[in-house]
């Protein structure tokens, strides 16, 4: 489940950031360029406000044309007064010769835009349906009018068809049937829900009987076809999957896709499978059924020999290493490309010659783009080569036609804790990536007004003399002669990480704007530091990770005399909220806490959460298993420490949270109030595990700011 990623590689919400002046491949230990400010940090301006943060234009989804001359990308903007966000697509020449223009025009919101293989057309989603137009926005055609909408367009190699996903009722074979079924549900005299097996709700959505299915539409006829009719499966898998879940074969005759086969044990298995299905129709064939753990993200090589994919070895453990695999379509066998490479293959694609895979992987609080050369037998040829090592994770796109210089255009997204994302581009060839330059400047005007301090890398010795890494962000108008309070941020997961990235929900700069130094640490369980480091949080939630965090606080206080040891607070969401709750019952060294969607009672949580594989792995079995109960559930449950909780605590939760049900928050608040511990409860009836609506986010930040200002900031500091 991983409270933040829900069992999938890190695809969404993570982007590239700080790059050095040179893009030569760095040796694995190189760090000298990583901490350089991206785009020039500005000091002397004013502190960031929530209104500033919501005004930032959020850049994502770069897609470069086959010839490398044009780039499509998405910009999401927020209208706080209207309480909504809008995504629009822009197109810009990769040489920067003209400014970006809206696509298909200035007034039409569009998303998920993708160039056709010949570069002459663009497929995109508008008002929930699939459209196609010329690259200048002319000759627009609506390709779908489906009840379940359309998302995730992916062109066939011949440019004559597009694959996409749409929601259906599996028993229906026509779109009219889907619409009629929805109407009957809407007109039913009772709103009662009935279920016969688990996983009846997922993330923030009740199972309403519909499934996401894989479709193909022929541009000539514009008649969408369901490739998996009648199947009770989701393509892409719930709850966060996108178009990375399926891919076209080189000849356009087959699609590979990821899905979970529905069964009574779906709630406690991580067994995702890869399937292939003929485009002309037929039963899907599982190609990874021998592996009982997760398999996902199929990518065909251009010669049709291989399907690359990510695979896990340990069933039931969603944070097991995502190994890079190659499936030989001729022999129908699979093998791991680089068994000794201790990184998760988060996202990857073949270079046009099919001899190399470019792989995005988290790497010590940042993300690297690696080059892995592939031998004829499908194993690694030479050593993995790191091309880019940056502050945030990569969303990159590679052209497949060589330019006049014999290189390909590579476009990526770059940001940092002090700078929202923009597009960058460079030329990719045998020497790596060269001539990098910034392609967009979506927020420069606003950034020029603000005092945003770059994140400083920190390293120290954690539990068991293990190196632990994190980031320290200084507040605006920082003055080392003053004493400053500090806020420790604890990430979710627990298998997750703070990256040097512009975070829309846990923004380090907004916390710093309260007049706080912000310490974002990556303790045991954090991704990007090797699989053993990840593994060492399981069945030890309040152990080494807790020790890592407290040692980090001690180290920073010793290193920086300007930090006030009497004014240290902590905040976290999901597992971070759990850790705040655990701290509250374990130490009195913190002056204030904020617990968002935090687990309070492990046994109650395990019986109410949606994805049961998570607690059963993390705590060694089901909550009623006597050994797991005594050794883990009750050993590490914060509710058993409630009688020792004395620290003022802000409790926040979404009532539609099915990952950590909101009663965990109300139970914590009850325990605090019953003991007269200063505390405040903030519930959001229309939110789930994450607070996403703009006005709710504003309230969330207002509550955070008021709470930590009250308990950590002195009157003379204001």
As given in the structure block, the two tokens for residue 185 are: 């549900």
Q: Going by C-beta distance under 8 Å and a sequence separation of 6 or more, which residues neighbour residue 45?
A: 448, 449, 450, 451, 452, 476
The ranges of the chain annotated as CATH 3.40.50.1820 are 455-601+637-717
What is the pLDDT confidence band of residue 393, given thresholds at 50, 70 and 90? low
Q: Note the Cα 364 to chain centre separation in Å.
A: 16
Which of 167, 331, 152 is CA-nearest to residue 247?
152
Q: What are the Cα distances from residue 642, in Å, to 356, 431, 581, 632, 673?
A: 54, 58, 9, 17, 11
Alpha-carbon span 161 to 153, nearest angstrom: 10
The tens digit of pLDDT for each residue in 683-714 reads 999 999 999 999 999 999 999 999 999 999 98
- CA 624, 628, 630, 633 dihedral sign is negative
Q: What is the pLDDT of residue 402?
A: 85
Q: What is the pLDDT of residue 281?
A: 87
Domain 455-601+637-717: which topology?
Rossmann fold (3.40.50)
Question: Is 39's pLDDT higher than 70?
Answer: no
* 494-523 tens-digit pLDDT: 999 999 999 989 999 999 999 999 999 999
3 confidence band (pLDDT: 50, 70, 90): low
What is the topology classification, in CATH, of domain 16-181+213-446?
Answer: Neuraminidase (2.120.10)
Output the DSSP codes for 547-616. HHHHHHHHHHHHH-TTEEEEEEEEEEETHHHHHHHHHHHH-S--SEEEEES--S-HHHHHHH-S-THHHH
Sign of the CA dihedral running 349, 134, 74, 423: positive
Q: In what helix (H) or strand (E) does residue 544 lie, and over which residues does it extend? A: helix 544-559
Mean pLDDT, range 368-375, rounded to an integer: 95
pLDDT at 469: 98
Whether pLDDT at 13 is above 50: no
- Average of per-residue pLDDT across 401-427: 93
Q: Is the per-residue pLDDT at 175 higher than 70?
A: yes
Q: Strand 347-350's sheet: what is its strand order? A: 347-350, 356-363, 366-373, 385-390
Stretch (H or E) spanning 184: helix 175-187
User: Could you read off the pLDDT of 530-578 as tens digits, one per residue?
Assistant: 999 999 999 999 999 999 999 999 999 999 999 999 999 999 999 999 9
Tell me phi and psi for residue 538, to 5 degrees.
-60, 135
Q: What is the pLDDT of residues 584-596, one digit of tens each?
A: 999 999 999 999 9
What mean pLDDT is predicted for residues 398-416? 91
Confidence of residue 395 (pLDDT cuts 50, 70, 90): confident
Q: How confident is the model at residue 65 (pLDDT cuts 50, 70, 90)?
A: very high
CB 155 within 8 A of CB 114: yes
- CATH 2.120.10.30 residue spans of the chain: 16-181+213-446
pLDDT at 176: 97
pLDDT, position 101: 96
Q: DSSP string covering 649-712, please?
A: EEEEEETT-SSS-THHHHHHHHHHHHTT--EEEEEETT--SS--SHHHHHHHHHHHHHHHHHHH
- Residue-level pLDDT at 391: 56
């Amino acid at each position: 489940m991983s409270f933040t990623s829900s069992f999938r590689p890190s695809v969404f919400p993570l982007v590239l950031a700080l790059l050095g002046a040179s893009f030569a491949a760095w040796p694995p230990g190189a760090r000298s360029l990583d901490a350089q400010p991206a785009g020039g940090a500005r000091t002397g301006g004013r502190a960031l406000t929530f209104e500033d943060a919501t005004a930032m234009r959020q850049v994502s989804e770069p897609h470069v044309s086959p010839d490398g001359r044009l780039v499509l990308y998405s910009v999401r903007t927020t209208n706080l007064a209207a309480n909504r966000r809008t995504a629009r697509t822009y197109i810009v020449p990769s040489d920067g010769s003209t400014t970006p223009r809206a696509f298909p025009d200035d007034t039409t919101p569009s998303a998920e835009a993708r160039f056709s293989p010949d570069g002459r057309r663009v497929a995109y989603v508008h008002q929930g349906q699939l459209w196609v137009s010329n690259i200048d926005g002319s000759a627009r055609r609506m390709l779908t009018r489906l009840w379940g909408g359309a998302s995730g367009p992916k062109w066939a190699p011949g440019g004559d068809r597009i694959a996409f996903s749409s929601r259906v009722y599996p028993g229906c074979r026509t779109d009219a049937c889907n619409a009629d079924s929805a109407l009957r549900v809407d007109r039913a005299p009772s709103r009662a829900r009935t279920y016969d097996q688990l996983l009846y709700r997922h993330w923030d959505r009740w199972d309403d009987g519909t499934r996401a299915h894989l479709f193909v539409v022929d541009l000539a006829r514009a008649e969408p076809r369901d490739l998996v009719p009648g199947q009770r499966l989701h393509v892409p898998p719930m709850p966060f999957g996108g178009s990375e879940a399926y891919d076209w074969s080189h000849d356009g005759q087959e699609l590979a896709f990821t899905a979970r086969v529905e069964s009574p044990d779906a709630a406690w298995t991580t067994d995702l499978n890869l399937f292939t299905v003929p485009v002309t129709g037929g039963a899907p064939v599982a190609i990874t059924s021998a592996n009982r753990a997760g398999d996902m993200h199929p990518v065909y090589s251009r010669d049709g020999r291989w399907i690359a994919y990510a695979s896990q070895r340990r069933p039931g453990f969603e944070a097991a290493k995502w190994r890079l695999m190659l499936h030989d379509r001729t022999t129908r066998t699979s093998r791991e490309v680089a068994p000794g490479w201790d990184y998760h293959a988060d996202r990857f694609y073949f270079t046009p010659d099919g001899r190399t895979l470019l792989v995005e992987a988290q790497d010590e609080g940042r993300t690297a783009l690696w080059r892995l050369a592939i031998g004829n037998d499908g194993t690694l040829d030479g050593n993995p080569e790191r091309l880019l090592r940056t502050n945030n994770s990569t969303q990159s796109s590679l052209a497949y036609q060589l330019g006049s210089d014999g290189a390909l255009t590579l476009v990526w997204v770059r940001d940092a804790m002090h700078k929202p994302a923009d597009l960058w581009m460079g030329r990719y060839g045998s020497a790596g990536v060269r001539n990098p330059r910034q392609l967009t400047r979506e927020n420069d005007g606003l950034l020029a007004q603000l005092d945003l301090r770059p994140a400083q890398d920190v390293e120290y010795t954690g539990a068991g003399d293990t190196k632990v890494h994190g980031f320290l962000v200084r507040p605006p108008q920082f003055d080392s002669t003053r004493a400053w309070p500090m806020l420790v941020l604890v990430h979710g997961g627990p298998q997750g990480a703070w990256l040097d990235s512009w975070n829309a929900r846990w923004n380090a700069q907004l916390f710093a704007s309260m007049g706080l130094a912000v310490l974002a640490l990556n303790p045991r369980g954090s991704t990007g530091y090797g699989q053993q480091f990840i593994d060492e949080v399981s069945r030890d939630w309040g152990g080494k990770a807790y020790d890592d965090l407290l040692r980090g606080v001690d180290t920073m206080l010793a290193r920086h005399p300007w930090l006030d040891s009497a004014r240290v607070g902590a905040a976290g969401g999901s597992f971070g909220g759990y850790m705040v709750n655990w701290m509250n019952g374990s130490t009195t060294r913190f002056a204030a806490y904020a617990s968002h969607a935090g687990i309070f009672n492990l046994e109650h949580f395990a019986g109410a959460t949606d994805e049961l594989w998570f607690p059963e792995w993390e705590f060694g079995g089901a909550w009623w298993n006597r050994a797991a109960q005594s050794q883990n559930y009750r050993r590490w449950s914060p509710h058993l420490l409630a009688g020792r909780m004395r620290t003022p605590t802000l409790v926040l939760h979404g009532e539609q949270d099915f990952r950590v049900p909101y009663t965990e928050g109300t139970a914590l608040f009850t325990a605090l109030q019953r003991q007269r511990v200063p505390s405040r409860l903030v519930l959001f009836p229309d939110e789930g595990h994450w607070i996403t609506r703009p006005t709710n986010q504003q309230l969330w930040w207002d509550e955070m700011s008021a709470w930590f200002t009250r308990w950590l900031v002195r009157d003379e500091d204001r």
